[in-house]
Amino acid sequence: MAGRPDLRRRLVATVAGFGSLALAACLLAPLVGSTPIRLTAVFDRSIPFADNVDAQIFFVARLPRVLAATIVGSGLALAGVVFQALLRNPLASPDTLGVSAGAALGAVLAITFNADFSLLGVSAIPLATLAGSLGALAIVYGLSAARRRGASSMVLLLAGVTLTTLLGALTTFVRYLADFTQTLQTVRWLMGSLDVGSYGPIAAALVPLTLACAGFATLPRVLDLLSIGAESAAARGVNVPRAEKIALASASLATGAAVSLAGPLSFVGIIVPHLVRLLVGADHRLVLPAAALFGSAFLIGCDLVARTAFAPAELPVGVVTAIVGGPVFLWLLFRRQ
Amino acid sequence: MLRADNVSFAYNARAPLVLDQVSIGVQRGDLVGLLGPNGSGKTTLLKILGGMLHPSAGGVQLDGRRLAGWSRRELARQISVVPQETHATLDFTVLDIVLMGRYAHLGPFALEGTADLEIARETLAATGTADLETRPFATLSGGEKQRVVIASALAQASDFLLLDEPTASLDLGYQLEIASVLRHLSRERGTTMVVCTHDLNFAAALCGRIVLLKKGRVLAQGPTAETLTAATIRDAYGVDADVQFHSRAGHLTVVPVGRPS
């Protein structure tokens, strides 16, 4: 077994398998909801769009939400994979380095101080969220760069945990200043939601996510090597400081993009990478594409549950990812022994 | 030839010198032992020879070319380094680990081909680990792991192999095993090796030449028989030792006797 030329075959199988799963989820999830619609009617070109109720529900009401789940799921899963390899810690997640906490602080600030600005059609809260996550990245990065000998993964982890707590306290302080309406809005935001309403926010989040993916594309083999130790990686020919910079920046950008679109959704970035590794092994050339596609399908599924489980009432999707994710993660942890 | 000329090193401007004007030369085919007490600068010198650290003063040359300015990838094709311990946090197989040695020879998006696979299998055979190929790396014993990591370094196809304490934390049986693997590689492949170690008997059994460091300076260097003596050991470690040729072992042996008061 394990002949390397079979890697190409495994790559094709992985992309085809997880790709069809993600595509099926994308097409089928919008069909489910309070008003049943049919896929054949949605794509029936003989009825003009204005008269085609099925198509309107599909494209206007439900598809934006499913597409938001697609890119948020991918972004969080990819960031999780990269953080776990970079920090050589299977428990790392997009939240570990404080990026999510920075994003939350940005959002809560924008809500509490009624920030009213926009840039290229993107409104204040997502912008503040993205700025918050990049600010947190800059702090972690500055701290790691201050240690000239490169970022030890343990130091990065501790810095991340500290920063998360610190930013969390600031967020609590800002929430304390908020009035009743703002508090409600903040609570809603912190629960996470994929109900983005239109395609605009999705297109806006795609910009940082695409940048992040360009970074991820250079990383698969480097992450394999970094996961066995920075020194080993350097000895095998990896430019470790550069690789760590690219990994840190792309993973933070992907996290920022995801959180700015959907708020903080726990567990997606930690469970999806582990489930994917169970299926395709450790090689990042397989894990990265698989995690991107499976992350989409997973979040679309969770959102479907959130929309339909107690219809017509809706659960916050963050609650579903945590309720599904928590037990799965515990199972993963204790399965090893 | 791999040569360090007047290499000094400090971790930062205010820190004390870890290495102070060290000059050593490693000829192709040599098997050099790098010895010295804790904190004498062995590991730092090894990293500088491998281009993983840059000297604060002085320079390192490989066949007359200065290492400064080489990319990591270029360097890795010439010199491979085996760190003290390797932990796989993810479930890689032995073959996966060995194939990572091919990184410096592949383009960023290239997958390993049959030629790479052949090289990997050959290095597994050379280190006596061919039957472990499909095992998860994390499940191996310490000695098996060390041999697999050496195989991975060999798959890099570099002429120089620098090993940092390859027998630290290994029991007696594995120590002998690693020594025999390294001896075999030196004899059969002509791999040049620099081995950093605390184990004087391991060095005596294996190395043709010894470099003895103390407080960042070279205390003695030369052929093992001339360098590893009771006098140099007392100088370097502050320990009285008997150094005798052991006829059954076929090499010098060092028996520490006590600390002179």
Segment (H or E) for B172: helix B172-189
| Tokens encoding B104 | 């410096």
Q: In the structure, what pLDDT confidence band is assigned to residue B42 with cuts at 50, 70 and 90?
A: very high
pLDDT, tens only, B148-200: 998 999 888 888 999 998 888 778 888 888 888 889 889 988 899 999 999 99
Query: For chain B, which residues make up each domain, given as ranges?
Result: 2-85+159-258
Query: Are A237 and B104 in contact (CB < 8 Å)?
Result: yes
Query: For chain A, which residues make up each domain, given as ranges?
Result: 6-335
| Tokens encoding B61 | 């040359």
Query: Are B72 and A240 in contact (CB < 8 Å)?
Result: yes
Please give the angle made by the CA atoms of A260, A29 and A78, to the nearest 5 degrees: 40
d(CA A235, CA A68): 41
Percentage with pLDDT > 70 across chain B: 100
Fold of the B2-85+159-258 domain: Rossmann fold (3.40.50)
A89 and chain B in contact, CB less than 8 A: yes
DSSP 8-state code for residue A119: B
3-state secondary structure of A226: helix
Residue-level pLDDT at A2: 45
A22-57 in b/e form (b: 16+ CB < 10 A) is beebbeebbeebeeebeeeebeeeeeeeeebebbeb
Residue pair A253/A102 in contact (Cβ under 8 Å)? The answer is: no
d(CA A132, CA A143): 17
Optimal mutation site among B80, B82, B89, B152, interface A, most CBs of chain A within 10 A:
B89
The nearest alpha carbon in chain A to B101 belongs to: A236
Give the pLDDT mean for B109-133.
87
Give the pLDDT mean for B246-259.
89
A312: cis peptide before it, omega within 30°? Answer: yes
Average pLDDT in chain B: 89
| Tokens encoding A267 | 């567990």
Residue pair A320/A303 in contact (Cβ under 8 Å)? The answer is: yes
Report chain A residues whose CB lies below 8 A from the CB of B88.
227-228
3-state secondary structure of A4: coil
Residue-level pLDDT at A121: 63
Minimal C-alpha gap between B180 and chain A (Å): 23
What's the predicted TM-score (pTM) here?
A: 0.89
Report chain B residues whose CB lies below 8 A from the CB of A5.
111, 113-114, 117
B28 and chain A in contact, CB less than 8 A: no
B248 and chain A in contact, CB less than 8 A: no
- Average the pLDDT over each of A286-290, B67-71, B98-102 and give the range with the smallest value: B67-71
Pick out chain A residues at pLDDT < 50: 1-3
The nearest alpha carbon in chain B to A225 belongs to: B100
Pairing assessment for the beta strands B2-9 and B19-26 based on DSSP bridges: antiparallel
Percentage with pLDDT > 90 across chain B: 48
d(CA A118, CA A336): 48
Residues in chain B: 261
B91 and chain A in contact, CB less than 8 A: yes
3-state secondary structure of B238: coil
Q: Does residue A64 or residue B87 have the better pLDDT?
A: A64
Optimal mutation site among B103, B119, B124, interface A, most CBs of chain A within 10 A:
B103
Cβ-based neighbours of B132, under 8 Å, separated by 6 or more: B94, B124, B140, B144, B148
pLDDT, tens only, B116-127: 898 999 889 888
The nearest alpha carbon in chain A to B152 belongs to: A236
Minimal C-alpha gap between A200 and chain B (Å): 34
Query: Are B112 and A7 in contact (CB < 8 Å)?
Result: yes
Which CATH code is given to the segment(s) A6-335? 1.10.3470.10
